[in-house]
Structure 1
Amino acid sequence: MSRFHPLDFRLMAMSQFQILTLLCQTAVWTIGSDLNQFLTQQLATSQAVSREVFEAQVVALVEQMQTTTVANVKYTDQLVSLVILNSGIMSALNTNSYLINNPLVLNYNILHGNYPVGNYIISNASNLNNIYCTCAYQSNCTFQAGYYNYSIRPGINDNSVYQPSPPPMFIVPGMLVGCLPHDAMLLSTLECFYNRSCLDLIGVSQAIIPLNVTAPSRFRVNTTVNTMFEQRFVETCQNSSNFTSYYNACHPKACSYNYAQRGNFLYALTILVSLIGGLTTILGIFVPLLVQFFRHLLAKCRGEAIPTIENNPEGRWLFLLFLIYFTFM
Structure 2
Amino acid sequence: MSGLHPLDFRLMAMSQFQILTMLCQTAASTISSDLSQFLTQQIITNQALSLQVFKAQVIALVEQMQATTLANVKYIDQLVSQVILNSQIMSALNTNSYLIANPVVSNYYIQHGQYYVGDYTASDALNVNNTACSCTHKSSCAFQAGLYNYSIRPASNEISLYHPSPPPMFIVPGMMVGCLPHDSMLQSTLECFYNRSCLDLIGISQAIIPLNATVSSRFQVNTTVNTMFEQLFVETWQNSSNFIYYYNACHPEACSYTYTQRGNFLYTMTMLFSLIGGLTTILGILVPLLVQFFRRLLLKCQGEAIATIENDPAGRQLFYFS
TM-score above 0.5 = yes
Q: Quick one: which of 281, 285, 291 aligns to 1:287?
A: 291
One-letter amino acid of the structure 1 residue matched with residue 281 of structure 2: G
Aligned counterparts of 2:284 and 2:240: Cα–Cα separation in 1: 62
**Aligned equivalent of 2:82:** 82
Q: Tell me, what secondary structure is at the counterpart of 1:174?
A: strand
Aligned counterparts of 1:109 and 1:287: Cα–Cα separation in 2: 115
Q: Tell me, what secondary structure is at the counterpart of 1:20?
A: helix
- Contact 2:114 2:162 (C-alpha < 8 Å) held by counterparts: yes
Post-superposition Cα deviations, 1:127-157, rounded to whole Å, max 9, x if no partner, equal 5342111111111111111111111111234
**Over aligned residue pairs, what C-alpha RMSD do you find?**
1.8
**Aligned equivalent of 2:122:** 122
**Aligned equivalent of 2:95:** 95
**Aligned equivalent of 2:252:** 252
- Contact 2:7 2:164 (C-alpha < 8 Å) held by counterparts: yes
Mark the runs of 5 or more structure 2 residues left unpaired by the alignment.
Answer: 308-322
**Aligned equivalent of 2:210:** 210
Aligned counterparts of 2:259 and 2:202: Cα–Cα separation in 1: 74
One-letter amino acid of the structure 1 residue matched with residue 248 of structure 2: N
Aligned counterparts of 1:209 and 1:129: Cα–Cα separation in 2: 37
Q: Tell me, what secondary structure is at the counterpart of 1:172?
A: strand
**Aligned equivalent of 1:50:** 50
Mark the runs of 5 or more structure 1 residues left unpaired by the alignment.
Answer: 304-329
Give the Å deviation of 1:259.
4.2
**Aligned equivalent of 1:297:** 301
Q: How many residues align?
A: 303
- Contact 2:117 2:129 (C-alpha < 8 Å) held by counterparts: no
Q: Tell me, what secondary structure is at the counterpart of 1:171?
A: strand
Q: Mark the CA change 1:129 to 1:228 in structure 2 (over 3 Å): closer, same or farther.
A: closer
**Aligned equivalent of 2:199:** 199
**Aligned equivalent of 1:314:** none
Post-superposition Cα deviations, 1:296-327, rounded to whole Å, max 9, x if no partner, equal 23212369xxxxxxxxxxxxxxxxxxxxxxxx
2:175 paired with 1:175:
yes
Q: Quick one: which of 262, 271, 275 aligns to 2:275?
A: 271
Q: Tell me, what secondary structure is at the counterpart of 1:123?
A: coil
Give the Å deviation of 1:15.
0.4
Q: TM-score, normalised by structure 1?
A: 0.87
Residue identity over aligned pairs, in percent, reads 66
One-letter amino acid of the structure 2 residue matched with residue 297 of structure 1: C
Post-superposition Cα deviations, 1:59-111, rounded to whole Å, max 9, x if no partner, equal 11111111111111111111111111111000011110111212211110111
**Aligned equivalent of 2:112:** 112
Aligned counterparts of 2:32 and 2:134: Cα–Cα separation in 1: 38
Give the Å deviation of 1:35.
1.1
Q: Tell me, what secondary structure is at the counterpart of 1:13?
A: helix
Aligned counterparts of 1:174 and 1:58: Cα–Cα separation in 2: 40
One-letter amino acid of the structure 2 residue matched with residue 149 of structure 1: N
